């Protein structure tokens, strides 16, 4: 499965602070986001296409695989934001940037029940199978923030909250993992259902709308330029899905796992202000 995504992106509220920053100012920021997922996942749940052979061999149509789990690595990506000061303290911000890329790794053995379970087993934790997939994440966001202190203060802390929409694309499976799925799951299931021998693998991750919470500090450099650093928490979850289909399009199996990603995002951003004064 491919899970490569995520934004980027768009997770942090960084408060631009230049001298005499005030209502009506527009601020552009560029810099870097550092993303550290605090992930957990449910065991993979698999549904198989019904077949006479599967019934004879005692293979359940739906089964869970205890001990299986998925994890995502840390990532970083360039960031770009645009802010508008509604007042001297309240700001509306749009965040975007280069989508972040992630690697999805696995642990545990996927194996159905019954005497033929060994024929359909796939080792998610196998060295040759990891990372299972790479994925790109897109996460545009809109945020509201409040900047403390006087507009002429050199240092201004801020807090913020927002909403981010995340989706994933460009999912690329590990070739060894893909081959293992085809040989150990696909070919057996295709034979059992009379769908031929050729199979195909498709993977995806669900999109999500998630809240962002942020704190940070901005430091004035001169009348136009400032530097800010922030830490954000994103309550993000997704469901990964891997489907095996036959050449005729018949669905042979589908495995799903819910991932709570909940990344902590730190950022360092350089700001430039447009406005009078």
Give the tens place of pLDDT for each residue, 227-277. 999 999 999 999 999 999 988 888 888 999 999 999 999 999 999 998 775
Q: Which CATH class is domain 26-274?
A: mainly beta
More confident residue, 62 or 52: 62
pTM: 0.83
More confident residue, 192 or 73: 73
CA distances from 181 to 103, 124, 197, 266 (A): 18, 10, 13, 37
**Residue 224: which of 10, 21, 2, 3 has the closest Cα?**
21
The whole-angstrom separation of Cα 93 and Cα 81 is 7
Under 8 Å between Cβ of 75 and 39: no
Under 8 Å between Cβ of 121 and 104: no
Q: In the chain, what is the greatest distance between 2 CA atoms, to the nearest angstrom?
A: 81
Burial class of residue 50 (count of CB atoms within 10 Å of its CB; 0-12, 13-18, 19+): exposed
The answer, yes or no, to whether residue 8 has pLDDT greater than 80, is: no
Give the tens place of pLDDT for each residue, 79-110. 999 999 999 999 999 999 899 999 999 999 99
The whole-angstrom separation of Cα 246 and Cα 250 is 5
* pLDDT band at residue 5 using 50, 70 and 90 as cut-offs: very low
């Amino acid at each position: 499965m491919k899970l490569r995504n995520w934004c980027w992106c768009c997770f942090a509220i960084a408060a631009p602070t230049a001298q005499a920053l005030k209502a009506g100012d527009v601020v552009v920021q560029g810099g870097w986001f550092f993303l550290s997922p605090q992930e957990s996942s449910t065991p993979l749940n698999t549904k198989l296409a019904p077949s006479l052979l599967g019934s004879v061999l005692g293979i359940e149509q739906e089964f869970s695989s205890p001990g299986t789990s998925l994890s995502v690595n840390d990532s970083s990506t360039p960031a770009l934001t645009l802010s508008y000061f509604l007042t001297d303290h309240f700001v509306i911000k749009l965040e975007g940037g280069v989508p972040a890329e992630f690697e999805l790794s696995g642990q545990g053995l996927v194996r159905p029940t019954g005497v033929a379970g060994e024929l359909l087993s796939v080792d998610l934790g196998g060295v040759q199978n990891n990372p299972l997939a790479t994925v790109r994440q897109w996460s545009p966001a809109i945020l509201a923030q409040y900047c403390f202190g006087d507009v002429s203060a050199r240092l201004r802390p801020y807090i913020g909250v927002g909403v981010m929409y995340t989706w994933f694309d460009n999912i690329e499976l590990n070739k060894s993992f893909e081959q293992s799925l085809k040989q150990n799951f696909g070919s057996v299931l295709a034979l059992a259902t009379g769908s031929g021998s050729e199979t195909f693998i498709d993977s995806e991750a669900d999109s999500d709308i998630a809240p962002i919470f942020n704190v940070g500090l901005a430091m004035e450099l001169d009348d136009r330029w400032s530097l800010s650093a922030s830490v954000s928490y994103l309550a993000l979850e997704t469901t990964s899905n891997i489907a095996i289909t036959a050449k005729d399009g018949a669905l042979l199996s589908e495995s799903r796992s819910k991932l709570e990603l909940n990344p902590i995002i730190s950022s360092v951003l350089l700001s430039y202000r447009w406005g009078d004064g």
